[in-house]
């Protein structure tokens, strides 16, 4: 009986971690794919603008991943602390 309680407590945390890792791998793949679409440009200003666009897109996607992870943890804590 005690073993079942432990398993029931561990499963949601394990699922959150699996979702987080798969999300991180997805973010890395998406960011790598998006970076390939933006040409570097010829002039230094074009290279700077392209780099800033890449940085903003990468940071936005990573922030979305972190927010997803945060909301999963918040939901888990709300459910577990009832």
pLDDT at 71: 93
Q: How many domains does the chain have?
A: 1
CB 18 within 8 A of CB 12: no
Structure tokens at 53: 């666009």
Q: Name the token pair of 22.
A: 């798969």
Rounded to whole angstroms, how far apart are CA atoms 13 and 15?
A: 5
Range of the domain at 25: 2-80
- The pLDDT value recorded for residue 21 is 93
| 23-66 pLDDT, tens digit each | 999 998 988 887 777 777 788 888 888 888 888 988 999 999 99
Predicted confidence band of residue 6 (pLDDT cuts 50, 70, 90):
confident
Query: What does 56-70 look like in DSSP terms, one character per residue?
Result: HHHHHHHHHHHHHHH
């Amino acid at each position: 009986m005690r073993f079942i309680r432990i398993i029931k407590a561990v499963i949601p945390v394990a699922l959150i971690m699996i979702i987080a890792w798969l999300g991180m791998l997805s973010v890395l793949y998406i960011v790598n794919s998006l970076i390939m679409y933006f040409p570097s440009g010829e002039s230094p200003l074009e290279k700077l603008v392209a780099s800033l666009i890449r940085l903003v897109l990468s940071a936005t996607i990573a922030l979305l991943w972190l927010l997803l992870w945060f909301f999963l943890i918040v939901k888990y804590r709300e459910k577990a602390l009832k």
